[in-house]
Amino acid sequence: MKFFLIFFSVLVSQTCFAQLSKTTTLALNKTVHEMDATTETSIQIVRLSDGKVLFERDENKLRIPASVTKIVTAATILAKFDAPHQFSTDFYITGERKDGVVKGDLVIVGDGDPFIVSEQLWQLAADFKHMGIKSISGNLVIDNSLFAGTGRDASRKFGKQSSRNAYDAPVSAFGVNFNTFATAVFPNEDVGKPAFVNLDPYPIRGIEITNKVITKNKSTRLNIRVQRQSSSGNDRIVASGVIPINSLLYKKYRSVSDFVQASGETVRAFLLAQGILINGKVVEGGLPQNSKKIHTLYGYPIRKIVEGLNTFSNNYIADVMIKRLGAAYPLKGAANAAGQGTYENGLAVVSQFLKKEVGIKSEFEILNGSGLSTDNRLSAAQIVKLLKYMAKSMQMYPEFLGSLPASGWDGTMEKRMRDNAKKHGLVRAKTGTLTSPVSVAGLAGYTSHPKHGLIAFCILDNGMKSKKQPAISALRDRQDKLLIQLLKD
């Protein structure tokens, strides 16, 4: 028995304190050094069972994390809101309801739910129909007072007048479909004729479509460009390019310009599809006294919100949640201490979480929760410390891990390590990408090692200023190569 205990103790000791093989360490060092001339890196790889560092380089150097920042945002959300928590969007009427007619306004009070989508609005409209509502004589009023500001910080201001992106969507307490709209394109029955181009799922008042998409033969490669142009409160969607006649339905998502009009008109469209007419305009305003609540739209739980945030790197969710954190935990003594959500309040919550709960003592800089800001600064060691912290919590870790996209499977990791089938699903990690002012590629998360068990890692790569920028694809390839070499050990 004594011999067995000694043998078991030695075995456990060898397992706990085993290092990477010399061959693997040399391979990792060689791969890291491949881009020294153009790239600044911060890397740390840690075994979770005992916190042993397996590999690191410039682990304490601050780098631009890009969307790896969302790991921090997601962790803070799970720490401050329970995983099953749901936000509630309330609907009020300001007048009497008689014979199916509401004689007054319909008021929507935003609760900062970042995940109100078409499926929920369809059910909302059906519920209104079940309630016997046929028309609303007044306006549709959107109350966004939970959040302060215009909805567009410095990282989004360029998307106000024109945009070819979805990621620059404005931030609001009430928003629909992540404050984006979908343009659906389908080929005509005849080659040479314009394709069918429509907003999905319904037309929206104030948004016009200019269709320049032409149907081509089967051998043509799909090439569609969609741009939103905005002027004097009106939006125009310009769709151009070609679509092969055998193509399936194709959708492009673009950010809205005016989030009040876009969200309100989308609600109007869903109600109209159920035969419910709103006679007035869409306006922004507060909730009048003596209004009567008639409905509450309960959102998806926090666990699903965090999944949408990380799996698809959703900037809108990230920054809405920063403001929602600010509303839930206002700064003491601030002018908006009553609970109005601001980036300042929300980012203070994030900072306090990292310092006081995670235990990060070194300096960092987080100016927004999505990673769109090029002034964000984090180190690999700080992010790994957060990953270690989350892995210790049964209340947070399952949802946190499940929110990260998987290599070769889904989200922003779908095309990573795709050629290595054995590694599909083995790496769960958040990606990060920026192209200006320098090339940025980040990757941070977890993987399972055959000898060392669960591992937390972070790789932050930044191009050097005043030098030719490395290709994003080259940085990603090097990160994948590092992980594949690690898992061979």
Query: What is the pLDDT at residue 482?
Result: 96
| Contact present, 215 and 194 (Cβ < 8 Å) | yes
Q: What is the mean pLDDT of residues 371-393?
A: 97
Is the confidence at residue 179, as pLDDT, over 50? Answer: yes
Is the confidence at residue 333, as pLDDT, over 60? Answer: no
Is the confidence at residue 160, as pLDDT, over 80? Answer: no
Q: Which of 120, 64, 59 is nearest to 304 (CA)?
A: 120
* More confident position, 481 or 335: 481
Query: What is the pLDDT at residue 154?
Result: 73
CA–CA dist 163, 170 (Å, integer): 12
Is the confidence at residue 168, as pLDDT, over 80? Answer: yes
Structure tokens at 44: 């740390």
Query: What is the pLDDT at residue 8?
Result: 38
Query: What is the pLDDT at residue 232?
Result: 74
Q: What is the mean pLDDT of residues 210-227?
A: 97
Counting residues of the chain whose pLDDT is more than 90, the rounded percentage is 86
How remote is the C-alpha of 92 from its chain's centroid? 30
Measured over the CA atoms of residue 162, residue 167, residue 171 and residue 175, the dihedral's sign is: positive
Average pLDDT, the chain: 92
pLDDT digits (tens, 9 = 90+) for 405-436: 999 999 999 999 988 888 999 999 999 999 99
Query: What is the pLDDT at residue 13?
Result: 37
Q: What is the mean pLDDT of residues 250-264?
A: 94
Q: What are phi and psi of 438, to 5 degrees?
A: -130, 165
* More confident position, 6 or 91: 91
Counting residues of the chain whose pLDDT is more than 70, the rounded percentage is 94
Query: What is the pLDDT at residue 241?
Result: 97
Query: What is the pLDDT at residue 130?
Result: 97
User: For the ranges 71-75, 93-97, 160-164, 381-385, which has the lowest average pLDDT?
Assistant: 160-164
Query: What is the pLDDT at residue 19?
Result: 87
| Contact present, 353 and 42 (Cβ < 8 Å) | no
| Contact present, 108 and 143 (Cβ < 8 Å) | yes
| Contact present, 72 and 386 (Cβ < 8 Å) | yes
pLDDT digits (tens, 9 = 90+) for 16-38: 446 899 999 999 999 999 999 99
User: For the ranges 201-210, 332-341, 364-373, 391-400, which has the lowest average pLDDT?
Assistant: 332-341
Query: What is the pLDDT at residue 488?
Result: 87
Query: What is the pLDDT at residue 332?
Result: 67
Q: What is the mean pLDDT of residues 462-470?
A: 94
Query: What is the pLDDT at residue 164?
Result: 87
Is the confidence at residue 338, as pLDDT, over 80? Answer: no
Question: Based on C-alpha coordinates, what's the Rg of the chain?
Answer: 25
Query: What is the pLDDT at residue 165?
Result: 87
Please name each of the domains of the chain with its CATH number.
19-83+305-487 (3.40.710.10), 88-298 (3.50.80.20)
Cα separations in angstroms, 268 against 171, 228, 283: 20, 21, 12
pLDDT digits (tens, 9 = 90+) for 228-242: 998 877 889 999 999
* More confident position, 43 or 3: 43
